[in-house]
A and B are shown apart, each in its own frame.
Chain A
């Protein structure tokens, strides 16, 4: 069954492209990313104690979550959310694993606390004082599409806007040989069941079984910069949103389940495209 949602807010952060404006311009060939890069964003919405304990995964997730809500002109405390990460925080996981292997009695309570997959969602809800439900999703190489499907479904079923945040960081240590990822990448969308004055795109979507599924490939100048990050599955949709033109996309939710998207640009008026 075909469903319709609207993209009311969008945000992006990577060390070379520290905003959606940078990413959009780079996608369209209007901006050449610098070779120097920021280390990580500062999660200013956290209290000082939480801020100094927040690992990179949390810093990047909170940055894009806050910017997407700002763009959608919505109070973050009112939004349900979906947080997606392929691997969680691999730097923290590596550190905890190393400690457990060598000196298990010296496990850091902060690192243990940060090692859970839903750490970013927890920091977010504390930081913005949000009591609404959140969902944390991991689905290996299918994480971006699977969590997008979850967020889109919630927007349609609950008939209210939802915040969708997707991020991954660089792999470290022995786990990096199996769970590969390079660099820092975060993106966030606010998805709504109806259009608003901040809507930038209309997204019609449905799922179907597809034994010969070929997902849409990333083909913009972002590809060589970000393809090594485990969340690179977000790139085809971001490229389509950056282009601002009518496009059909195919994302893989599993080896044989397709999330088909038809994207149309929207001018932010409260009128639906027929």
Chain B
């Protein structure tokens, strides 16, 4: 049984599905505690760049490709939503 998504996580999950054109994934299917990259959703480094751009556009703060915490920030839907909540400008 996947963990329940918070409202912010639901919004972010919808953005991920739309921005990365995930054909076979519904936003509600993304388990907030499972890894976003590698296994599972099958996302790769280009997806990380696309996602960072979309997050910058939507939430008004810059994500950096050389941030040493990126592995942690992008670890899961929950981790990413939490990073956005702490840094969002809009």
B50 near A110: Cβ-Cβ < 8 Å: yes
Bound: A110/B54 CA distance, A: 12
Check A34 for interface membership: any CB of B closer than 8 A. no
A-B residue pair count with CB separations less than 8 angstroms: 24
Residues in A whose Cβ lies below 8 Å from that of B89? none
Residues in A whose Cβ lies below 8 Å from that of B24? 48
Segment touching A, from B4-12, B15-23, B77-85: B15-23
B53 near A52: Cβ-Cβ < 8 Å: no
Residues in A whose Cβ lies below 8 Å from that of B44? 49
- The answer to whether residues A108 and B50 also contact, given A49-B42, A49-B44 and a CB cut-off of 8 A, is yes
Residues in B whose Cβ lies below 8 Å from that of A209? none
Residues in B whose Cβ lies below 8 Å from that of A53? 21, 46
Check A106 for interface membership: any CB of B closer than 8 A. yes
Bound: A52/B24 CA distance, A: 10
Residues in B whose Cβ lies below 8 Å from that of A108? 50, 53
Check A172 for interface membership: any CB of B closer than 8 A. no
Bound: A109/B42 CA distance, A: 18
Bound: A103/B62 CA distance, A: 12
Bound: A208/B22 CA distance, A: 51
Among residues 41 to 66 in chain B, which have CB atoms less than 8 Å away from a CB atom of chain A?
42, 44, 46, 49-50, 53, 56-57
Residue of chain B at shortest CB distance from A52? B21
Bound: A106/B51 CA distance, A: 11
Among residues 231 to 271 in chain A, which have CB atoms less than 8 Å away from a CB atom of chain B?
none
A48 near B42: Cβ-Cβ < 8 Å: yes
Residue of chain B at shortest CB distance from A48? B42
Bound: A107/B56 CA distance, A: 11
Residues in B whose Cβ lies below 8 Å from that of A48? 23-24, 42
A52 near B50: Cβ-Cβ < 8 Å: no
Residues in A whose Cβ lies below 8 Å from that of B20? 52
Among residues 74 to 132 in chain A, which have CB atoms less than 8 Å away from a CB atom of chain B?
103, 106-110
Told that A108-B50, A108-B53 touch, could you supply 13 new A-B pairs with CB distance under 8 A? A48-B23, A48-B24, A49-B44, A52-B21, A52-B22, A53-B21, A53-B46, A103-B57, A106-B53, A106-B56, A106-B57, A109-B49, A110-B50
User: Can you give 23 A-B contacts (C-beta < 8 A)?
Assistant: A48-B23, A48-B24, A48-B42, A49-B42, A49-B44, A51-B23, A52-B20, A52-B21, A52-B22, A53-B21, A53-B46, A103-B57, A106-B53, A106-B56, A106-B57, A107-B53, A108-B50, A108-B53, A109-B46, A109-B49, A109-B50, A110-B46, A110-B50
